[in-house]
């Protein structure tokens, strides 16, 4: 009798506690949406090693991202869908955290790959959440970069960009690819459609890798192009007559619109 009375008493108390927690949870998630991760850095102060990368961007200075960038672990990278997204990252819980704990805001421009052959494991293997920051950003978060790795907290934040959404023409005459960059707001892109000046109708592009989108053929050659871009948060913008008919590979063009 006694054990069962005791356990039902315990169950009632547990349920009351659970109910109280459920009431608290919405308030907690609304005010404290920081999640835990770790951070390291790659490359040196010049950031040369952070250029190009698995999102398909090129010279990050020319493209407006500069050195406030990060590579994401496999889990956060989400096969490239996270490219262009912005994160506030703050050092938390290490004696090496810079005083004040001000967060850095970075754009995802690269992948921190998994490596299963390291005996001690790898910070970027799934399911770990990890930021491999540019060295200049890491230097702002810590008092001594020799610490190598620190615990951090992070959250998605809106991206601030100058000017309109931009498009760079890549590929060749049989397979045209378009890099979509300088996306404000959510920063990441989940759908792109293009309309050729000659075709006159919208065609959905598919994401090839990073932020590089294609129709899978060369239909864009010799046509002016308009674009419809859907950001990761579902917001869409239409950018008319972005690319002139006489475009050339390697050129980039700015749309007259932004998120
Ligand atoms: C993975 O880690 C091992 C052991 O540290 C190293 O020798 C190897 O080069 C790494 N592989 C890659 C692709 O970085």
pLDDT tens digits, one per residue of 107-136? 999 999 999 998 887 999 999 999 999 999
Top mutation candidate among 114, 115, 132 for ligand 1, by most atoms within 8 Å of CB: 115
Top mutation candidate among 117, 120, 132 for ligand 1, by most atoms within 8 Å of CB: 117
Give residues with Cβ within 8 angstroms of 59, minimum separation 6: 51
Cβ 179 vs Cβ 170: under 8 Å: yes
> 257: burial class by Cβ within 10 Å (0-12, 13-18, 19+)?
middle
Pick left, alpha or beta for residue 207 (phi over 0 → left; psi -120 to 50 → alpha; otherwise beta). Answer: beta
Give 178-229 pLDDT, tens digit per residue: 999 999 999 999 999 999 999 999 999 999 999 999 999 999 999 999 999 9
Q: What percent of the chain has pLDDT over 70?
A: 88
Alpha-carbon distance 67 to 46, whole Å? 8
CATH of span 7-19+161-254: 2.60.40.760
Determine whether the shortest distance from the Cβ of 115 to ligand 1 is under 6 A: yes
CATH number of 34-157: 2.40.40.10, 3.30.70.1230, 3.40.50.970, 2.60.120.560?
Answer: 2.40.40.10
21 to 15, 18, 24, 25, 40: CA distances (angstroms)? 10, 5, 5, 6, 34
Give 3-53 pLDDT, tens digit per residue: 444 444 444 444 444 444 444 444 444 456 999 999 999 999 999 999 999
| Distance between first and last Cα of the chain | 66
Q: What's the whole-number mean pLDDT along residues 245-255?
A: 98
Residue nearest to atom 4 of ligand 1 (CA): 118
- Residue 3: the pLDDT is 41
pLDDT of 247 higher than 80: yes
> 105: burial class by Cβ within 10 Å (0-12, 13-18, 19+)?
middle
Give 150-159 pLDDT, tens digit per residue: 999 999 999 9
CATH 2.60.40.760 intervals, the chain: 7-19+161-254
Determine whether the shortest distance from the Cβ of 235 to ligand 1 is under 6 A: no
Alpha-carbon distance 116 to 217, whole Å? 37
Backbone angles phi, psi at 230, to 5 degrees: -110, 120
- Residue 15: the pLDDT is 47
- Residue 9: the pLDDT is 45
Determine whether the shortest distance from the Cβ of 118 to ligand 1 is under 6 A: yes
Alpha-carbon distance 238 to 235, whole Å? 10
CATH 2.40.40.10 intervals, the chain: 34-157
Length of the chain: 259
Q: What's the whole-number mean pLDDT along residues 98-112?
A: 96
Give 55-78 pLDDT, tens digit per residue: 999 999 999 999 999 999 999 999
- Residue 219: the pLDDT is 96
How many angstroms does the Cα of residue 41 sit away from the middle of ligand 1? 17
Residue nearest to atom 3 of ligand 1 (CA): 118
Distance of CA 151 to the CA centre of its chain: 19
């Amino acid at each position: 009798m006694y054990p069962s009375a005791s356990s039902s008493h315990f169950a009632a108390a547990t349920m009351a506690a659970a109910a109280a927690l459920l009431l608290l949870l919405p308030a907690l998630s609304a005010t404290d949406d920081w999640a835990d991760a770790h951070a390291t850095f790659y490359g040196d102060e010049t950031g040369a090693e952070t250029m190009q990368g698995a999102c398909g961007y090129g010279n990050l200075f020319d493209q407006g991202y500069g050195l406030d960038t990060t590579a994401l672990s496999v889990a956060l990278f989400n096969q490239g869908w996270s490219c262009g997204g912005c994160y506030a990252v703050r050092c938390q819980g290490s004696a090496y955290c810079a005083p004040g704990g001000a967060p850095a805001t970075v754009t995802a421009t690269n992948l921190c790959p998994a490596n299963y052959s390291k005996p001690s494991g790898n910070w970027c293997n799934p399911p770990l959440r990890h930021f491999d920051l540019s060295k200049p950003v890491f230097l702002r978060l810590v008092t001594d970069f020799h610490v190598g790795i620190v615990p951090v907290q992070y959250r998605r934040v809106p991206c601030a960009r100058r000017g309109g959404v931009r498009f760079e023409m890549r590929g060749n005459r049989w397979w045209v690819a378009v890099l979509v960059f300088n996306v404000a707001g959510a920063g990441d892109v989940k759908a792109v459609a293009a309309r050729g000046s000659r075709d006159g109708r919208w065609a959905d592009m598919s994401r090839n890798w990073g932020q590089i989108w294609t129709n899978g053929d060369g239909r864009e050659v010799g046509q002016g192009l308009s674009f419809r871009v859907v950001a990761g948060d579902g917001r869409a913008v239409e950018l008319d007559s972005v690319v002139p008919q006489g475009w050339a590979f390697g050129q980039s063009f700015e749309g007259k619109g932004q998120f």
